Amino acid sequence: MAINLREIALKGEKLTSGHRLCAGCGASIIVRMVLNSAEQPVVVSNATGCLEVATTIFPYTAWGVPWIHSAFENSAATISGVESAYRALKKKGKIDKDIRFISFSGDGGTYDIGLQALSGAIERGHRCLYICYNNEAYMNTGIQRSSATPRGTFTTTSPAGKVIPGKPQRRKNLTEMMVANGAKYVAQASPSHWRDLMEKVRKALDTDGPSFLNIYSTCPRGWRTPDDSAIRIARLAVETGFWHLYEVEDGRYKINYKPAKGFKPIEEYIKIQGRFTHLLRPENAEILEEFKKDLEREWEYLLRMEEATNK
């Protein structure tokens, strides 16, 4: 499971440069890490979204692996169908390669539009890795809020103003939904902690059954952040307790990052993102407190689950 950087560097890139994703986009960083982690050949299904649109503008493609474009809602169904065909052909002796199957979708195509297909793929037990590159809004279609969007976030459909101070609702906890759905391996990761992310990818691909990774993905356009801040913001998300690194294997929880001196103030994370800066105004103190309580509840839940499942 250990990651050998020299070995990875000699592999060559499976997502080539020259694609049209924005400078500072977290999705391309994530895809490169994921594909470089794989030790077997992979087939990729990719839902409609920023990643698909910007890497496959006809007649070009940035993908160096077999790749399938799926509709917004059915990337999980597509990859589970490919995996089923592979198993059938292998059983008949027509394929002898050991192949892995990965689906990439944004939070809109995972938390909302593609949730039904994802749930079905996990319930049926397909040996596939489903990855949500989570930039917390519908970035490709105009920065609209999704159910992954945190409370208080400014989006084009939850604008902070006199009527509402950003999105009024808390974000959906999809990672925990996937645990309840029966995925054999579930984890959250961040590109700022690259070794943790790559080791989780390998664990997921080695799992004999469905696996799910929710990966924090920065978006300078939608978050109103500098192009060169992707990894700095991703690291702050972890260090302030906004994004927890943990994994669940067959129901057993393991938290991968516990700060020795406690989390940094969430204000350090908020103040450098235009989508959140209104939360620091006095009139929005109440929603900022609710924002903090959401994070505290999530952390306390993880601590309880880790203790309960490791006795």
Which residue range is the domain that position 167 belongs to? Answer: 5-309
pLDDT of residue 8: 81
CATH code, 181: 3.40.50.970
SS (H, E, C) 69-103: EECCCCHHHHHHHHHHHHHHHHHCCCCCCCCEEEE
Q: What integer is the mean pLDDT of 69-77?
A: 96
Mean pLDDT value of segment 167-185: 97
For 191-206, what is each residue's pLDDT tens digit?
999 999 999 999 999 9
Task: Count how many domains the chain has.
Answer: 1
SS3 136: coil
Query: Kindly report the CA angle at 249 between 109 and 41, in degrees rounded to 5?
Result: 60
Report percent pLDDT > 70 for the chain.
100
User: 1 falls in which pLDDT band (50, 70, 90)?
Assistant: low
For residue 252, name the pLDDT band (cuts at 50, 70, 90). very high
What is the pLDDT of the chain when averaged over all its residues? 96
**pLDDT, tens only, 127-165:** 999 999 999 999 999 999 999 999 999 999 999 999 999
